[in-house]
Amino acid sequence: MTEVEAIAHKLARQQKEISVAEFFERNKHILGFGNPTRSLLTSVKEGVDNVLDACEESGILPEIYVEIKNHEDGECRLIIEDNGPGIIKKQVPHIFGRLLYGSRFHAIRQSRGQQGIGISAVVLYSQLTTGKHAKITSKIQEDRPATVTELAIDTNRNRAEVISRAIVHWEKPSGTRLEVSIVADYKRGKRFVYDYLQSTSIVNPHAQITFKEPDGTEHLFERTSETIPKKPIEIKPHPQGIELGTLIKIAKGTKSRRLSSFLKSEFSSMGDRTTKAVCEKAQLDRGLDPKKMSREQFLTLHKAFKKVKIMAPSTDCLSPIGEILIKRSLKHQTQEISPEFIYTASRPTSVFSGSPFQIEVGIVYGGSLPKDKSVRLLRFANRVPLLYQQGDCVSTAAISSIDWRRYGFDQSSGKGIPSGPAIFFTHMSSTLIPFTSESKEAIADIPEIESEIKLAFRECARKVQSHIHKEVKRVKTREKFDLITKILPEIAKKSSDMLGKPVPSLDAVITKIMDVIWIEDLIECEKTSSKPVQATLFEDSSENIDGGWITKSTILVVNYKNMPQKFNLYALIPEDAVVGTVTPKPAKITSRYIKWNLDAIDPANKVDISFELAGLDKGDFDENDLYIENINASYVIGADKWEGE
Amino acid sequence: MPRDFTKVIEKIDLIAEKVYNDLKSSEIPHLKLPTRTKTNIRFDEKLNVWKYGGNTTERSAKSLDGAYMMLRTMYMVDFIKDMIKANKSSTLREMYYISEGWDLAKFHSQPESDSLAEDLEVITSCMREDFKLRPEEDGARVIGNFTLEEMTRNKTKKKIHCQDDVGDSGYTIPYNVEPEKITFKGADADFILAVETGGMFDRLVENGFDKQHRAIIVHLKGQPARSTRRFIKRLHDEKKLPVLVFTDCDPWSYRIFGSVAYGAIKTAHISEYLATPAAQYLGVTPSDIENYKLPTDKLSKEDIHALKSELSDPRFQDRFWKHEIKLQLSLGKKSEQQALAKYGLDYVTDTYLPEKLAEMGMLKK
Tell whether the model's pLDDT for residue B14 goes beyond 60.
Answer: yes
Q: What's the whole-number average pLDDT of chain A?
A: 84
Looking at CA atoms only, how far is residue A491 from chain B in angstroms?
5
The mean pLDDT value for A602-626 works out to 86
Indicate whether B93 belongs to any domain: yes
Indicate whether A530 belongs to any domain: yes
Residue A408 pLDDT: 82
B199 with B331, same domain: the answer is yes
Instruction: Specify the CATH number for the domain of residue B347.
Output: 3.40.1360.10
- B127 shares contact with chain A (CB less than 8 Å): no
Tell whether the model's pLDDT for residue A100 goes beyond 80.
Answer: no
Tell whether the model's pLDDT for residue B362 goes beyond 80.
Answer: no
Q: What is the DSSP string of A496-560?
A: HHHHT-PPPP-HHHHHHHH-SEEEEEEEEEEE-SS--SSPPS-S---S--TT-EEEEEEEEEEE-
Tell whether the model's pLDDT for residue A238 goes beyond 90.
Answer: no
Indicate whether B39 belongs to any domain: yes
Looking at CA atoms only, how far is residue A605 from chain B in angstroms?
18
Cβ-nearest to A491 among B27, B29, B81: B29
Looking at CA atoms only, how far is residue B132 from chain A in angstroms?
18
Contact partners, residue A167, CB within 8 Å, separation at least 6: A145, A146, A147, A148
Indicate whether B1 belongs to any domain: no
Residue A401 pLDDT: 92
**Cα–Cα dist B318/B323, whole Å:** 9
Cβ-nearest to A495 among B16, B81, B105: B16
A509 to B64: CB separation less than 8 angstroms, yes or no: no
pLDDT tier for residue A150 given thresholds of 50, 70 and 90 = very high
Residue A452 pLDDT: 94
Tell whether the model's pLDDT for residue A479 goes beyond 70.
Answer: yes
B119 with B266, same domain: the answer is no
Looking at CA atoms only, how far is residue A500 from chain B in angstroms?
11
Domain limits for position A249: 244-312
**Cα–Cα dist A461/B244, whole Å:** 66
Indicate whether B236 belongs to any domain: yes
**Cα–Cα dist A198/A377, whole Å:** 14
**Cα–Cα dist A393/A417, whole Å:** 12
A498 to B81: CB separation less than 8 angstroms, yes or no: yes
Number of folded domains that form chain B: 2
Tell whether the model's pLDDT for residue A644 goes beyond 80.
Answer: no
Q: Which residue of A has its CA nearest to B62?
A: A513
Residue A545 pLDDT: 45
Q: What is the DSSP string of A201-255?
A: HHH-TT-EEEEE-TTS-EEEE-----PPPPPPPP-PPPSTT--HHHHHHHHHH--
Out of A106-120, A281-295, B350-364, least confident range: A106-120
pLDDT tier for residue A537 given thresholds of 50, 70 and 90 = very low
**Cα–Cα dist A178/A118, whole Å:** 13
Class of residue A547 by CB neighbours under 10 A (exposed 0-12, middle 13-18, buried 19+): exposed
Q: Which residue of A has its CA nearest to B78?
A: A498
pLDDT tier for residue A533 given thresholds of 50, 70 and 90 = very low
- Three-state SS at B280: strand
| Strand B146-151 with B157-161, pairing | antiparallel
Out of A272-281, A582-591, B34-43, least confident range: B34-43
Cβ-nearest to A491 among B17, B26, B74: B74
Higher confidence at residue A137 or residue A160?
A137
**Cα–Cα dist B129/B186, whole Å:** 27
- B61 shares contact with chain A (CB less than 8 Å): yes
Looking at CA atoms only, how far is residue B176 from chain A in angstroms?
29
**What count of other Cβ atoms lies within 10 Å of the Cβ of residue B25?**
10
Indicate whether B364 belongs to any domain: no
- Domain boundary among the residues B134, B165, B191 is at B134
Indicate whether B365 belongs to any domain: no
A491 to B17: CB separation less than 8 angstroms, yes or no: no
Cα torsion angle, A438, A442, A445, A450, sign: positive
B122 with B160, same domain: the answer is no
Question: Contact, B364 vs B358, CB < 8 A?
Answer: yes
Query: Cα separations (Å) of B40 from A478, B50, B126, B312, B313?
Result: 35, 10, 20, 12, 10
In sequence order, the β-bridge partners of residue A598 are A567
Residue A377 pLDDT: 93
**Residue to test with chain A: of B31, B59, B63, B64, most A Cβ within 10 A:** B64
B23 to A494: CB separation less than 8 angstroms, yes or no: no
**Cα–Cα dist B148/B185, whole Å:** 5
Question: Contact, B277 vs B262, CB < 8 A?
Answer: yes
**Cα–Cα dist A486/A517, whole Å:** 20
Q: Which residues of A lie closer than 8 Å to B, measured between beta carbons?
A: 479-480, 482-483, 486-488, 490-492, 494-499, 501, 504, 506, 508-509, 512-513
A178 with A45, same domain: the answer is yes
Indicate whether B324 belongs to any domain: yes
Cβ-based contacts of A514 with chain B (< 8 Å): none
Cβ-nearest to B17 among A482, A491, A499: A499
B156 with B276, same domain: the answer is yes
Cβ-nearest to B74 among A495, A509, A513: A495
pLDDT tier for residue B348 given thresholds of 50, 70 and 90 = very high
A157 with A176, same domain: the answer is yes
Displacement of CA B362 from its chain's centroid (Å): 25
What number of helices (H) and strands (E) belong to chain B? 14, 17
- Domain boundary among the residues B85, B114, B134 is at B134
- Domain boundary among the residues A172, A187, A221 is at A221
Out of A100-109, A278-287, B8-17, B272-281, least confident range: A100-109
Residue A107 pLDDT: 56
Q: Which residue of A has its CA nearest to B64?
A: A483
**Cα–Cα dist A483/B67, whole Å:** 7
- Predicted complex ipTM: 0.75
B10 with B110, same domain: the answer is yes
Secondary structure letter of residue B225 according to DSSP: -
Secondary structure letter of residue B268 according to DSSP: G
Looking at CA atoms only, how far is residue B81 from chain A in angstroms?
9
Cβ-nearest to B78 among A492, A494, A501: A494
Residue-wise pLDDT for A494-524, tens only, equals 999 988 999 988 888 888 888 888 888 888 8
Indicate whether B269 belongs to any domain: yes
Question: Contact, A478 vs A520, CB < 8 A?
Answer: no
Residue A402 pLDDT: 92
CA-closest candidate to residue A121, choices A87, A84, A158: A158
Tell whether the model's pLDDT for residue B307 goes beyond 90.
Answer: yes
Q: What percent of chain A has pLDDT over 90?
A: 24
Residue-wise pLDDT for A337-386, tens only, equals 888 889 999 998 888 877 889 999 999 998 888 888 999 999 999 888 88
B86 with B108, same domain: the answer is yes
Out of A28-37, A62-71, A536-545, A573-582, least confident range: A536-545
Residue A543 pLDDT: 44
The mean pLDDT value for A165-173 works out to 89
Residue-wise pLDDT for A575-585, tens only, equals 778 898 998 99
Residue A115 pLDDT: 45
B215 with B104, same domain: the answer is no
Q: Which residue of A has its CA nearest to B10?
A: A499
Looking at CA atoms only, how far is residue B266 from chain A in angstroms?
27
Question: Contact, A418 vs A350, CB < 8 A?
Answer: no
B162 with B275, same domain: the answer is yes
Cβ-nearest to A499 among B13, B27, B28: B13
The mean pLDDT value for B116-137 works out to 85
**Cα–Cα dist A236/A317, whole Å:** 10
Question: Contact, A595 vs A488, CB < 8 A?
Answer: no
B47 with B81, same domain: the answer is yes
**What count of other Cβ atoms lies within 10 Å of the Cβ of residue A615?**
24
Tell whether the model's pLDDT for residue B209 goes beyond 90.
Answer: yes
Looking at CA atoms only, how far is residue B5 from chain A in angstroms?
17
- B20 shares contact with chain A (CB less than 8 Å): yes
Tell whether the model's pLDDT for residue A539 goes beyond 50.
Answer: no
Residue A356 pLDDT: 85
Contact partners, residue A310, CB within 8 Å, separation at least 6: A238, A239, A240, A269, A270, A274, A278
Cβ-nearest to B64 among A483, A496, A499: A483
What number of helices (H) and strands (E) belong to chain A? 15, 24
Cα dihedral A231, A237, A239, A245, rounded to 10, equals 160
A487 to B71: CB separation less than 8 angstroms, yes or no: yes
Residue B203 pLDDT: 95
Cβ-based contacts of B69 with chain A (< 8 Å): none
Tell whether the model's pLDDT for residue A451 goes beyond 90.
Answer: yes
CA-closest candidate to residue A120, choices A153, A156, A84: A153
Size of interface A-B (CB pairs under 8 A): 72
Tell whether the model's pLDDT for residue A551 goes beyond 70.
Answer: yes
Rg (CA), chain B: 22
Residue A535 pLDDT: 43
Instruction: Specify the CATH number for the domain of residue A294.
Output: 1.10.8.50
Indicate whether A479 belongs to any domain: no
Intra-chain end-to-end CA distance of chain B, in Å? 50
CA-closest candidate to residue A105, choices A431, A478, A511, A458: A431
**Cα–Cα dist A485/B79, whole Å:** 24
B343 with B293, same domain: the answer is yes
Instruction: Specify the CATH number for the domain of residue A437.
Output: 3.30.230.10
pLDDT tier for residue A419 given thresholds of 50, 70 and 90 = very high
Annotated catalytic residues of B are 97
* CB burial string A413-435: b at 16+ within 10 A, e below: eeeebbbbbbbbbbbbbbbbbbb
B315 with B202, same domain: the answer is yes
B74 to A494: CB separation less than 8 angstroms, yes or no: yes
Cβ-based contacts of B22 with chain A (< 8 Å): 509
**Cα–Cα dist A154/A645, whole Å:** 65
B174 with B72, same domain: the answer is no
Q: What is the DSSP string of A126-189?
A: HHHHH-PPEEEEEE-STTS-EEEEEEEEETTTTEEEEEEEEEE--SSSSEEEEEEEEE--HHHH
Cβ-based contacts of B63 with chain A (< 8 Å): 483
Q: Which residue of B has its CA nearest to A506?
A: B23
The mean pLDDT value for B252-259 works out to 93
**Residue to test with chain B: of A482, A485, A491, A501, most B Cβ within 10 A:** A491
Cis peptide before A584 (omega within 30 of 0): yes
Three-point CA angle B112, B118, B123, nearest 5° = 125
Cα torsion angle, A103, A109, A111, A115, sign: positive
Instruction: Specify the CATH number for the domain of residue B67.
Output: 1.10.10.10
- B71 shares contact with chain A (CB less than 8 Å): yes
Rg (CA), chain A: 31
Question: Contact, A155 vs A131, CB < 8 A?
Answer: no
Indicate whether A482 belongs to any domain: no
B26 to A498: CB separation less than 8 angstroms, yes or no: no
- B76 shares contact with chain A (CB less than 8 Å): no
- Domain boundary among the residues B102, B134, B166 is at B134
Domain limits for position B88: 6-134
A504 to B29: CB separation less than 8 angstroms, yes or no: no
- B104 shares contact with chain A (CB less than 8 Å): yes
Q: Which residue of B has its CA nearest to A489?
A: B71
Backbone angles phi, psi at A384, to 5 degrees: -115, 130
Cβ-based contacts of A498 with chain B (< 8 Å): 13, 16, 74, 77-78, 81
